[in-house]
A and B are shown apart, each in its own frame.
Chain A
Amino acid sequence: MPLLDLKTVPEPVVQTAELIGRLDEVFESGFGRLSSANLQTLASLAASFAGTPLAEPLDAAIAGLGRSEFVDRHFAVIAAARAAAHGAMHDALVAQACAALSRPRPELEALADTPGQAAPPRAAVLLESVRQWLMELAIAGFANLEVGALLPFQATLDAIMAEPALVRHAALLSGFLDELLTVFPAHGKPEVPRLRWVDLWTRSMVLSLAPPAPPATREVKGELRVFATDLRQHDHVVSLVAFGALHEPGKPPRVVRTGVSAFKVDVLQGDDIAGLLADVGGKLLEAIAGGQGVKISGMLLHATGDLVWQEARAEVLPTKLKLAEEAAAVLTSPTALRPGARPEDRHPAVVEELVWLPADGYSVAAKEARELSLGGQAFPLAVERWPSSDDLLPSDLAGSKGLVALLRFDGGRWSLQPVMIDKGKPLPRMVGTGLQAARGKAKGGNLATLKERAGKLLRKKS
């Protein structure tokens, strides 16, 4: 079984992870009080970038930080270096996975620059505020944060949320701030999820270096057949991600990724999510619930294989598809044009190679298994990523006729996250199949109540 080649991890990946781990200690204690050990760590970071375009700026930034020059460009360079190290890990891991699976590495589609609307001038000021806030966090150190330093950022975040060009920033920063406010104020020593928070810090910093340019896209026509889904959420955003085969006239079918996301509040869970997502992706929910294809006319596709879902350009087709067969056909030897990440977004956490496992390729030992058995050997399941939804349950694995999984890398090891399980019935098991039915039940629910209050109170305020 080729996946078993992934029981080990390439040595450079392990070493880079160790270097990042030491750098993250500096973020925990703070750049405002660099110990001699911290300075050594920064020096070894600089050494590992020798001969790269980052070498010179990194030397300058580390020297500056050593002299307590707290300016955002120094922190921007540290963020770029950390992101680059994770990017290298990502590339090495993808290469390892693709070699094991005997498939080409995913490539970005070559697209001509699309003329689009640039972010408004206001965006630049807001992003400068974000960098300032991130710098304050790094100077203080995650272990020493005080609520007083966190709360004022909410006002900046409110402004970012009101700016459609910064939707990605809003989604990331609201999740990050939520987590910080969950831990602080801390009674006693705070529990700092170090790697995770420095990841979120780095993502936020890299994303805020410049206002987003309009992405290169092309219009696509054809049919989308969604065969797998994933749900991602924090208290303030929910994202339903869908993977499917895109059939364009005159081209071989390829894998694309699409999805719909909505802002929300913590009490909106379960059925209420359906109401939120239906506003932007009602037809996607319908197609997922019915196992039907969607006729697409003129939706925009990014170089990364991300299809921007546009309700007005979708039409749900009546035929019920054989989704397991569809997935098997397009995933068994996929083309290089399939979902991937832009260089600046590359990180082991965004590796999601789709694999199809036929019924005879795996088995499950126990009902609540934490691993799959592949040819007699155990391979970990990414149980921590399993969404809490009745649509896809760990118990669905037993007796299944095949599955689609995302190959994940987390906690220093590879694992599989099932995102569609074929039970031999017309409709496979996947997250989101129940959302269409839940739309009807959402009346009088939390979403309706809060929207009604918002309608009254927010109007009064303005």
Chain B
Amino acid sequence: MLPRARKVQKVPFVELYAGRLQGVVSSGSDEERVYVSYFEATSGNFYCSTNNNRPCGGLRGSPCKHLVELLNEGVLQYGPARVIAYLGLQQAEPDKVRSGVELIRFIKGGPHKVEAGMVFSRFLTYLQYVSVAPTGAPLPDMAWFVR
């Protein structure tokens, strides 16, 4: 499924969910700090803040570097076609996009605050999956899931 392997060091979490490309971006300077960022489909609005709801200093009317990283990793994870379709960026041409940063110019909205907790709790749910015990029991329904 993955068009290319994605490293999670910088952007541990990215997803297309509930009409948003959203995720968690590690801070470049402080190991303990993470940023919570999102782009909304249709409106093109975006936001970036720390997980304690402090707005990102780099967010001045246009997407900050965390948002750019989020978009880059989103394209790596899902491929340009799916990101473009999900965000409804009709003008963008999937075949010509090599990295997410090229999509920034199609983002029409402006900064619009959402509670970081909403995205952050998705990240915690996501991490929960790697904490569930594996099993040796038969799972016949997995016959439906092949890649």
Measuring CB to CB, which residues of chain A are less than 8 angstroms from any residue of chain B?
147, 151, 154, 158, 161-162, 164, 167-168, 170-172, 174-175, 181-182, 185, 187, 196, 199-200, 203, 207, 232-237, 239, 241, 257-270, 276-277, 279-281, 302, 304, 306, 308-311, 341, 345, 349-350, 352, 384-385, 387-388, 446-447, 449-451, 453-454, 457-458, 461
Contact = CB atoms under 8 A, between A and B. Distances in A.
Contacts of B124: 457-458, 461
A260 B139 CA distance: 9
12 contacts: A151-B18, A154-B125, A161-B128, A161-B132, A172-B141, A203-B144, A239-B139, A260-B136, A269-B2, A304-B140, A308-B137, A350-B143
A458 B131 contact: yes
A411 to B, nearest CB: 13
Given A259-B136, A308-B136, A453-B12, A447 B130 contact: yes
A184 B73 CA distance: 21
Contacts of A262: 134-135
Contacts of B16: 181-182
B28 to A, nearest CB: 16
Contact of A200 (B2, B136, B144): B144
Contacts of A352: 143
B17 A181 contact: yes
A387 B146 contact: yes
Contacts of A457: 123-124, 127
Nearest to A408: B143
Given A167-B139, A257-B138, 5 more contacts: A175-B144, A237-B139, A260-B134, A449-B12, A450-B130
B106 interface: no
B85 interface: yes
A446 B143 CA distance: 26
Interface string B8-50: 1100100111110000000000000000000001100000000
A450 B8 contact: yes
A309 B129 contact: no
Given A168-B141, A449-B12, A267 B6 contact: yes
Contact of A171 (B12, B19, B142): B142
Given A260-B134, A270-B5, A450-B8, A232 B77 contact: no
Nearest to A230: B146
Nearest to B127: A454
Interface of B: 1-2, 5-9, 12, 15-19, 41-42, 77, 85, 88, 123-147
B145 A164 contact: no
B40 to A, nearest CB: 11
Max count, chain B CB within 10 A of own CB: residue among A258, A345, A446, A453 = A453
A261 B140 CA distance: 11
A16 B146 CA distance: 25
A164 B133 contact: yes
A156 B30 CA distance: 35
A450 B137 contact: no
Contact of B129 (A236, A277, A388): A236
Contact of A203 (B128, B137, B141, B147): B141
B7 to A, nearest CB: 7
A451 B134 contact: no
A362 B136 CA distance: 35
A280 B140 contact: no
B103 to A, nearest CB: 16
Given A266-B1, A458-B128, A280 B145 contact: no
A276 B133 CA distance: 10
Given A261-B139, A269-B2, A450-B127, A384 B146 contact: yes
A181 to B, nearest CB: 7
A453 B13 CA distance: 11
B108 to A, nearest CB: 15
A209 to B, nearest CB: 15
Contacts of B140: 168, 304, 341, 345, 350
A454 B128 contact: yes
A458 B125 CA distance: 9
A259 B131 CA distance: 20
A308 B136 CA distance: 5
Given A304-B138, A306-B138, A449-B12, A263 B19 contact: no
